[in-house]
Structure 1
Amino acid sequence: MSLLLKFKIGIARVPFLGPFIRQTYQLATAPLALARSARTELPRLGNDLSDVAERLTRVEYELRDLKAMIDSEIRSVIDPRIIDQRFAELRAHADASVQTSVGQTVQRLDLRMQGLEQRTAEVMDRGDHEWGASRRSYTELAHRLSLLLEDVRKLPAGSSRPELQEKMAGTPDPLLTTFYATFEDRFRGSREDIRERVSVFLPEAQEAVKIAAGAGPIVDLGCGRGEWLEVLSRAGIRCLGVDNNEAQLASARAHGLPVLNADALAWLKEQPPASVPMISAFHLIEHLPFPVLTEFASEVMRVLTPGGLALFETPNPESLLVGAFSFHLDPTHIKPLPPELTTCLMEVLGFTPVTIRPLHPHPWRDRYLREKSLPPDVARLLFGPRDYAVLARKPGV
């Protein structure tokens, strides 16, 4: 053993001093040991890190390949064509289900509608039967009353009271009254149709009432069922209807309209002058012989207030269908009145201005004019306005 080694061993065995010297020596020599270890371990650690990096690269490539494979598998599973095909199948199935459900519902509705149509037809048949029976009974009663009136009129002058004979002589034939009421219902139109037609004259009525403030009511001569009176009443305008057809007056009264049974010309002659702001007569003047029409229009002029308005509506013979056919459906028509004739008459009597307003063209007119399947002049002659109105104002305002 060398002297140096023996000295180190001896020093190490000295209490307290030996451990201290040993620790001091280890601390002093630690950097040298660390450097020796570093020189040995660092190359080894670098090799290990290279191995790890290489492995990570291989894992990255494997993950990329795996992702590509998964994407390929997914695309094959959810191919758009497959999806479209499946969706089409599902839609076809749904459409078939809906069509089946709708078809069943429609069948049920068809059955219900058939049942309703059958019941409606039964009710209509029963109503037609009862209406026909009522009409026949009414006509039979009217016929019997006509015969009775004729027998009364044939009685000798002294066989009954004079006032009874006078009243019977002036009573319209009930059978003709019944016929004319039925004729109006069948060929003139429903109440709703007539109300819509005459409503176009409401502005003129409102203006007439405004001009003649405080005057009497607007009077409709030959008022029939009272459609024009109904329009005026709904507009808050005072009005009165005059007619001698009791069957039609009954319809007007049923609607709460103010009417009285009288002859139009006789009623006019009883009125004071300048007392009525507007006098209307829808489809009345064509029933009067021309001398009576002249007297009628003259009395209208007398009774109107200054600035008052006369309104006469009548069939328009400028329409060939009216002049050649429909005018003659009514056996009480005297003759057609061309617009030029009525205009001249009203101007001679002193009305000014006098305006002609064409009304109610045939529904086919516009179609023929639009399609040009007929020459325009022919379409207007055949299917032009079927009525016209004379609006004549009394001077004075």
Structure 2
Amino acid sequence: MTASFDSAEELMEHLKKQIIEFPNSEETITYSVEKKTGTGILDLTSFRNECDANNSLWNVSTDRPITSHRKLTGKFIVLGKKVVRKLLRWHVGNTFEMQTTFNGSVTRSFNELYNVVLQLTAKQEQYETHIQEQQKHIQRLENKLNNLDMQREVKIGMNNFKTEINEFKTEFDELKTEFDNLKTEKSIEKHKSEEDIANVISEVRSSQNNYVRSFNELTNLITDRFNTLDDKFKAEINFMQYRLRKIKNQSLTESSGKLPMLIEPNEKVETDSNSFDYLHFENKFRGSVDEIKKRQTVYLPYFINKENVLDIGCGRGEFIELMLENSVSVKGIDLNREMVEYCQDRGLPVEYNDAIQYLHSVEDNALGGIFLGQVIEHLTFEQIITLVELSYNKLKAGSYLIMETPNPLSLAIFYRTFYVDPTHVKPVHPLTIQYLVESIGFKEAKLNYSSRVEPNWWLPTLDVEEAAIKNVNEFNEGINRINELLYGNLDYAIIAKK
């Protein structure tokens, strides 16, 4: 049952009645506090006062001082009461001891409850402050989106200006036509020679050609500039929409009104994956979309003129864009919902799905190619085996499976890239993955290494005559091997043909 009480005395009285009336009842009592301040925070003043009173009165003793206000008979009354108390002590002593123990337990419970309420109240204030900050951040993002809309309006205005220039060019051509007509219709003044007229016409035509050439150059320059700005604005708007959606989702979660549960000391606490912004992480550490597309063009010849290509773990969609730009039908899947929504905002054919589950749903010999860019280092080896087996079954004959991943033969990955990403499991040795695809049935399996460390990191070799220093060639070969080990290619790809 549910009850509300204004003081600790009322609660204790109610508990006594419940114990007497329902000694074996399993019904529980839920105590609710209804008093709140104008700000929505609980007013705990009365509760604190009652706790203080309980702390001072919980110890009930049978040895309380016995006094009397009567002068003559007071001593006899006090003596009589002491005798009676001594005679009854054996009967009521245990009862008083049990009552004292119960009072102490209830008082300690109220003290702990008060501390918990204080902690929850402080948490509530923190959440309200954080929600207000997130709302301000959302407002700033919306203002930035409005600014981007204004810039797009400027672009529209420039397009209108280009249209007016085209109209002006048309009017100029009409005036030229009228001029040519007048030249044929009217006789030329006698004092002007034909040579002078020809020179004038030549100058007019030269000026016209210069004007048209300058106009075309200006038009091409403006068009290229607007295309660049349009792509940039689209990318910024898509990223802002992604960030705005993420912040709103976090705000909705935090403002749902759920207070944190008390956690046992040995209870495992799971981390909320939404707190890690993987898209922003890739933008900062992996490189721009254009840079990654440029690196991936080396794989383009293996997918040209293919159909139904699958990009597993498509991320920001660089490989999908590269395929679409070369008229290759492609589809991407990813297990990061925010990445999927970001790609969908950009109009890319991407869906949220697990790679192994998706491949199980595809018919055998149906895919024209499979690409995994920086994916297998996120998987266990058992998952990699299953993925390669399914890929072999689903690929058409003559199609390629390409998997790009960090190269453990170069120690540079360990201090530069691999451990920067907290979602990496472990690197895969290139000979291991080559053996795996060959054992499953791929008839061609070659390794392609890329992304070598910048030359300014390499150890220099000795540039001297062989006669000047003994074994200088062997020394330089050793330096080259050290450079290969420490500063070799950061990535490799296994290119397997079915």
TM-score (norm 2): 0.43
Q: Which runs of 5+ in 1 are unaligned?
A: 1-126, 152-171, 210-215
Deviation, 1:325, is 4.8
Counterpart code for 2:250: A
The change in CA–CA distance for 1:146 and 1:361 in structure 2 (over 3 A counts) is farther
**1:194 matched to 2:292:** yes
Counterpart code for 1:362: V
- Which of residues 299, 302, 320 is equivalent to 1:204? 302
The change in CA–CA distance for 1:141 and 1:196 in structure 2 (over 3 A counts) is same
Q: In structure 2, what is the Cα distance between the partners aligned to 1:393 and 1:248?
A: 29
**1:182 matched to 2:275:** no
Deviation, 1:185, is 1.4
Match of 1:145?
253
Q: Deviations over 1:87-114 (max 9, x none)?
A: xxxxxxxxxxxxxxxxxxxxxxxxxxxx
Match of 2:453?
362
Match of 1:217?
308
CA contact (8 A) 2:461 2:479 kept: no
Q: Deviations over 1:38-67 (max 9, x none)?
A: xxxxxxxxxxxxxxxxxxxxxxxxxxxxxx
| Equivalences, count | 239
The change in CA–CA distance for 1:301 and 1:320 in structure 2 (over 3 A counts) is same
Match of 2:380?
289
Deviation, 1:141, is 4.0
Q: Deviations over 1:118-172 (max 9, x none)?
A: xxxxxxxxx9xxx99x969945843863997x99xxxxxxxxxxxxxxxxxxxx9
Match of 2:412?
321
Match of 2:399, SS? strand
- Which of residues 333, 339, 347 is equivalent to 1:242? 333
CA radius of gyration, larger in: 1
Q: In structure 1, what is the Cα distance between the partners aligned to 2:435 and 2:254?
A: 40
**1:231 matched to 2:346:** no
Match of 1:276?
367
Q: In structure 2, what is the Cα distance between the partners aligned to 1:383 and 1:364?
A: 9
Q: Deviations over 1:214-255 (max 9, x none)?
A: xx4111010111111111111111111111212222332233
Match of 2:393?
302
Counterpart code for 1:377: R
Q: Deviations over 1:364-390 (max 9, x none)?
A: 268656887992122222221100001
Match of 2:479?
375
Counterpart code for 1:224: G
CA contact (8 A) 1:365 1:383 kept: no
Q: Which runs of 5+ in 2 are unaligned?
A: 1-235, 260-270, 464-475
- Which of residues 478, 489, 495 is equivalent to 1:385? 489
CA contact (8 A) 1:316 1:323 kept: no
CA contact (8 A) 2:279 2:316 kept: no
Q: In structure 1, what is the Cα distance between the partners aligned to 2:410 and 2:456?
A: 11
Counterparts in 2 of 1:16-35, with a 5 A limit?
none
CA contact (8 A) 2:331 2:349 kept: yes
Counterparts in 2 of 1:64-103, with a 5 A limit?
none
* Percent identity of equivalent pairs: 29
CA contact (8 A) 1:221 1:241 kept: yes
TM-score (norm 1): 0.54
The change in CA–CA distance for 1:137 and 1:340 in structure 2 (over 3 A counts) is same
Match of 1:250, SS? helix
Most deviating of 379-388 and 277-286: 379-388
Q: Which structure has the highest helix share of the two?
A: 1
Q: In structure 1, what is the Cα distance between the partners aligned to 2:345 and 2:243?
A: 19
Match of 1:252?
343
